[in-house]
Amino acid sequence: MKYLIAGLGNIGSEYAHTRHNIGFDVLDALSGASNIFFEDGRYGFTCTIKLKGKTLILLKPSTYVNLSGKAVDYWLKKHKLPIENLLVTVDDLALPFGVLRLKPRGGDAGHNGLINITEVLGTSNFARLRFGIGDNFPKGTQVDYVLGQFSTEEKSTLSSRILLAGDIIKSFALSGVETTMNLYNNK
């Protein structure tokens, strides 16, 4: 059984480790724990992790967050995967920092990456792992906040939250979305 795990972010050193790139950071931690490295491929960087008879194809789209749908669609089709085997990891302003929320489907909550994926795939019936980045910014500075670095206080617990996100991804592949939600949502 194969799964496509897409972590959203923007390519380029100026975006590295920003709030908007948390999807990249989660996949980097997951691949690093297995000592597996990403390779540059069509529409993104990918690597494959084997996990108890399951194959996880990790994808970091190179299309920028707002055009992630093209990459996700390409890799789903390339591996002939059903939409149920897709999990998208994104930053979420509506959740407090570090809160992780897995959902089997849902709206885009104004996230341009989710909007584009939904438009390209023609459905919002795909799982998403939302990583809370909080909304602690003055009115009119959302873009700077999202594209900014985590605060010193946030960085003190960021690694543990990223590792927990990796555990959620592995559970999604091994146990399914419903069981994983019951185990991890609200932790």
Residues belonging to the active site: 20
For residues 185 and 96, give the distance between their C-alpha atoms in angstroms, rounded to a whole number. 13
Angle, helices 152-175 vs 177-184, to 10°: value is 140
Per the structure block, which two tokens stand in for 179? 């069981």
Coil, strand or helix: which one is 5? strand
H or E segment to which residue 32 belongs: helix 22-33
